Every structure is written in structure tokens, then in C-alpha cells.
Structure 1
Amino acid sequence: MSEHYPVALIGPGAIGTTIAAALHEVGRTPLVCGRTAHQQLELRFDRGRIVVPGPVLTDPAEIKQPVGLVFVAVKATQIKATAAWLAKLCDEKTVVCVLQNGVEQKAQFADYVAGATVLPSVVWFPAQREPDASVWLRAKPRLTLPDTPEAGLVLKTLQGTRCEVDLSADFISVAWRKLLQNAVAGLMVLAGRRAGMFSRPDITALALAYLRECLAVARAEGARLSDDVPQEIIDGFHRAPADLGTSILADRQAGQPLEWDIRNGVVQRYGRNQGIPTPLSDLIVPLLAAASDGPG
């Protein structure tokens, strides 16, 4: 760990490895914590690779003092597993930057951070875990953070790295726009297909109808998003490589629990609170929940 940037990272999966590699590349290697004692982390991209030396720490008892900044890059289904790490890594001066899907990060982590400040983020890069445990980064990494004083610490920490950081005064709109993208990607789980499926006219029509339903809920929650957003999101899937996957599809293929609630269930839940009909969510959410949790 750098003495100037006391940084830790929990969860060296696809997103976590990308952040760890970006920091290591400029000499700010974070303390990496996880379930498996990997001897190294490897990030691959078009023009090369970055290897972050290990081992990954697996026992919170090895943490001797809090740090200034903690990146948390675990799935929503794994939040409780971070409790022991956060208890050791955090105090009231710590900033916990959550690299996770959804719009509820502050509420989800409030009980685990020992008085630290929870800083939500929006992650804008496709990184996927490969069978050899390396991570393949398929685009330039970028984070969007709310424009708050705490975000300045993350901006300073990642300054000069390959990961860009944007600050947004209207973070709620940015977060909901990304949620819409994540929500419609859930259709890939139900079809068992990657991004190429959106080239089908029938899937495009279904996706647009679902995105418009999600947009109505997002606006009711304060997001300022135009009528063009659903088509913009679908256009992005049309431009994507046909074999581009998504983390929720990878979890389904691996038989892991799915982040169905924070990516899709949230639209149904908030829609009900706002009195907005969500007929497509009422079909999609139970199917995703059953694919994740069973029974059967």
C-alpha cells in the first residue's frame, strides 16, 4: 500500500481487478481483500496486460488499522460477506466507494461501514472474468460519481490512471440511466443469449417497451431522462459485439445467485410505491427471481 494513498479494495472480480490494475499500474497498489487467496490478479486488454501481485487477503484479522478509501466491488448478493472486512477497514473518516449496480448503495451499506461515508458510483466499462481467472477489459474504464467533497478523494486516487472519473451534479439521473441499461440486459438471462439477441426485431420491440416502463418509474423517482433514452440504450446494444455478455448472464450460466432485485425488482418495487403500472416487470421479475433462487 502506498503511504500517500491508503486504499483497500474488497472483491477482486471483474470490476475490482480493473480498479486494482489501474492503481497498480501507476504505483498505488491497493490492499486487496477477497474470498480466494489469488497469488496475482491479471487484467488483459487489446494492447497488453497488467499483473497485480498478490496474494489476495482472505482473513479480516490481517487488517491492523482503517484506511482512507475502500473500493467495494462485490455483487449485491454478497454485501453481508463484506461486513467483517468493512468493520476492520473503516472508521468515521473513511470513504467507501461502492462499485456496484443499482440505485440503493447508500441504504444497502449503511449498517456495515462503522460511520464511514458511503459514496455510490456508476461503472461504465465492460469487464468480464475469463475461465483462467484473468479479466478481459473490452473498453476504456470510466466511473461517474456524485459531485460531493468525498468524491474528490476518489478523483485524486485515480488521477493519472487508465480509469477516468466523471463528477455529476445530477447523479440520480446518471444512476437511473445505467439502471435502465442493466434492467433490459436482464432479458439476456431469460433468453440465455448475449448482446447479439437485440438484433432481432421482436426483441428490440420488447426491450423498448420494457425500457419505457422503467423510464416512467425513473422519472417518478426524480431522474431527468428524455424520451430518447430507451432508443439510445437499444442502439448501444445494436452496436455492441454480438458476443458481449453481462454480469447477470455470467452468474446465471455459472449457477450463481442473481442481482435480480437491484437491477429489475427495484423498478417493480418503486413503481408500486409511485402507483405506476409495471406489467412487463410483473412478468420479468418473477422469472429472474426463480432463475436465481428457485425452487426447482
Structure 2
Amino acid sequence: MSFSTAIVGPGAIGTTIAAALHESGNTPVLCGHRHRDHLTLLDGTRIITVPGPILTDPAEQADTADVVFLAVKATQTEAAAGWLTSLCGPHTVVCVLQNGIEQVRMVTPYAAGSQVIPAVVWFPAQAQPDGSILLRGHAQLTLPDTQASKVIQAVLDNTWCEAELSADFSSLAWRKLLQNAAGGLMVLTGRRSGTYRRADISRLTLDYLDECLQVARAEGASLDDGTPQEILNIYQSSPPDMGNSILADHEAGRPLEWDIRNGVIQRLGRVHGIPTPISDVIVPLLAAASDAN
């Protein structure tokens, strides 16, 4: 069965999904805020070109899509509302490729009654100075085990982007959130993954992740005591020049996703009566860094 697809937000994550779909013979409709003739993904020695154009006016799109991949930053969801209105019909499935654990709550008001499915994105993709996207790992998504998720899985079934279903999606989403929360230290230090090899930053990262872990468990996530060290190991074993999306936004002068990545820990900690002394320092600093942009 064939499905019509659309990508809203052809940045690093959106371009990766678009390239996977295009190579499988299902070239998606591309929707963004800047006109381009094509997208380019660099994957090892391969160069994948996804034909455009990138549409910039929701009024240009007359047809709804079976599956919409929403790949804009959480800070841009409201600005993408026009695209969701144009692309979504009563049977559309919206796959939200955003950070955080609040995707459904944040996107549903704009989805025109469509089914909204959150996803955990596990692959590193980075924008390059020439506008291309460099994929630096295996492309994989995790989705909750629902019927709507199986539609997304079917769309990606014949591509090199793996889509797995999880019966405990919430725990995996929280684990990724902890990884993203620790990534905020790149903004505050002005450095990339190499910063986590410092002994003092390593200790701070572990203490912060322990704090995040207590909040995650209070929210029902099943994460073991070794999770903070596992996440630190990921950063320490990454190439020292590896950045992340929040650092890229900071360097480009864009608003930061500080609230959905870090503020949520502080907010939910208060709900559960869990002290968050490190969050109480990190969150206002990241908010101020975002204001400066």
C-alpha cells in the first residue's frame, strides 16, 4: 500500500527522513519557510539529493497527506500551524519529530483533528555551512505501540530509516530527554562534546542527570541507576567536535528549546516535590541565553 507523505521543516531531521523516503520511491512534499530547489544529505560516501521545490506558502498545497512528518523545532510549532491545516485531513497521521516529552499536548491543537504520534529520534544529523545535512549515524525512530504508529512504520518499512514500536515508549522518551537535557551544557560552556571529557563537567553532568532521573521516575519512567553514566559515556565517546541542535541554534542566534529540554525537569520536579537545585541554576541561564538570541 502506498502512502502520500509530507515533511514540514526540512532541516537536519526533516532532510534525513525526506532522503530515506525519496530513495524508497516515495518522494515527500517538502514544506518550509525558505524556497530551495532541492535538499542534500551526506551519508558516509553517499550524496542523496531530494528534489524540491520546497513550498513556502500553505495555500500552495491543495491535497492532504496520509502521513505528515513534523520536523520543525518545538519553538516553531505555532508558526507551522498553517501547514498542518493544509496537509491534515481526518485520516492523516502526524509524526512529531521533536525533542521533549510533550509533543502530543503541544501539537494536537494545530493538527486539525488528525492523530498525533510522538517519536524519539535517535540519529545525529547536522547542518553544514553549504546547507547540506551530514548524517553521522544509523537513522532510527522509536514510536509508541499503537495502530497509528503502525502506519508510520509501514511508510518507513522499505527505507534505511528504521521505525521501531515500543510498549514502554514513555521510558524511552524520558531517556532521550535526559540525554537532551545534559546537552544544554554545550550552550553554557560554548563547547561541543569534548567538554564532557573534563572531570569537573563530567561530575556536574552526572549530578544533573541524577536529578533528572528522580523526576523521570516520579513521572513513571522505568530507568535504572546506571542511566546517567550511560548517557555521559555517549557524550564522552562522541567525536569532540560533535555538536547538538540547541548549540547550533545558539550559534545561529535562534531561540532555544530550553523549556522542553530542561525547564520541564524543573517544572515537574516542583509538581512532585522533588528538589532540583542544578536545574534551578541551569534553566535560567539557558533562558537568558535564548533571550540574547
TM range (shorter): over 0.9
Residue 206 (structure 2) aligns with: 208
Q: SS at the partner of 1:83?
A: helix
Give the TM-score, by structure 2 length. 0.99
Aligned residue number for residue 14 of structure 1: 12
Q: Is residue 104 from structure 1 mapped to residue 63 from structure 2 by the alignment?
A: no
**CA-based RMSD:** 1.0
Which of 227, 249, 252 is residue 251 of structure 1 equivalent to? Answer: 249
Which string of whole-angstrom CA distances, capped at 9 and with x for unpartnered residues, describes residues 121-151 of structure 1?
0000000001111000000110000000001
C-alpha separation between the residues in 2 aligned to 1:90 and 1:168? 25
CA distance in 2, matches of 1:55, 1:114: 25
Counterparts of 2:211 and 2:197, CA distance in 1:
21
- Offset, 1:56: 0.3
Following the alignment from structure 2 to structure 1, what is the Cα–Cα distance between the partners of residues 223 and 260? 20
Letter in structure 2 aligned against 1:245: G
Equivalent residue, structure 1, for 2:156: 158
2:290 aligns with one of 282, 289, 292: 292
Supply the AA of the counterpart residue of 2:139: P
Please give the alpha-carbon distance, in whole angstroms, between the structure 2 residues aligned to 1:294 and 1:43. 31
Matched ranges for 1:54-93 at <5 A: 54-93=52-91
Picking from 32, 38, 44, the partner of 1:40 is 38
Instruction: Report how far residue 54 of structure 1 moved.
Output: 1.0
| Further displaced range: 45-54 or 94-103 | 45-54
1:110 CA drift (Å)? 1.5
Shift of 1:93: 1.0
Residues 1:143 and 2:141 are matched in the alignment: yes
Q: C-alpha displacement at 1:166, in angstroms?
A: 1.1
- Unmatched 5+ stretches in structure 2: none
Number of residue pairs aligned between Structure 1 and Structure 2: 293
Equivalent residue number for residue 191 of structure 1: 189
Runs of 4+ displaced beyond 4 Å: none
Distance 1:184 1:130 in 2: 23
Q: Distance in 2 between matches of 1:93 and 1:46?
A: 37
Displacement of 1:64 after TM fit?
1.1
Which one-letter code corresponds to 1:8 in the other structure? Answer: A
Q: Which amino acid aligns with 1:129?
A: A
Post-superposition shift, 1:102?
0.2
Q: Hey, what's the Cα distance between the residues in 1 that align with 2:2 and 2:213?
A: 43
| Aligned-residue offset at 1:66 | 1.5
Residue aligned with 2:77, SS: helix
CA distance in 2, matches of 1:46, 1:107: 36
Q: Which runs of 5+ in 1 are unaligned?
A: none
Deviations 1:24-61 (A, max 9, x none): 01110000100011111000021211000111011101
- Partner SS, residue 25 of structure 2: coil
Aligned residue for 1:190, secondary structure, equals helix
What TM-score results when the alignment is normalised by the length of structure 1?
A: 0.98
Give SS of 2:141's match.
strand
Shift of 1:262: 0.3
What secondary structure, in the 3-state scheme, does the structure 1 residue paired with 2:48 have? strand
Percent sequence identity over aligned pairs = 59
Task: Give the residue type in structure 1 aligned to 2:189.
Answer: A
Q: Quote the residue 1:276 is aligned against.
A: 274
Offset of residue 238 of structure 1: 1.2
Distance (whole Å) between structure 2 residues aligned to residue 127 and residue 231 of structure 1: 23
Partner of 1:110, secondary structure, is helix
- Offset at 1:183? 0.1
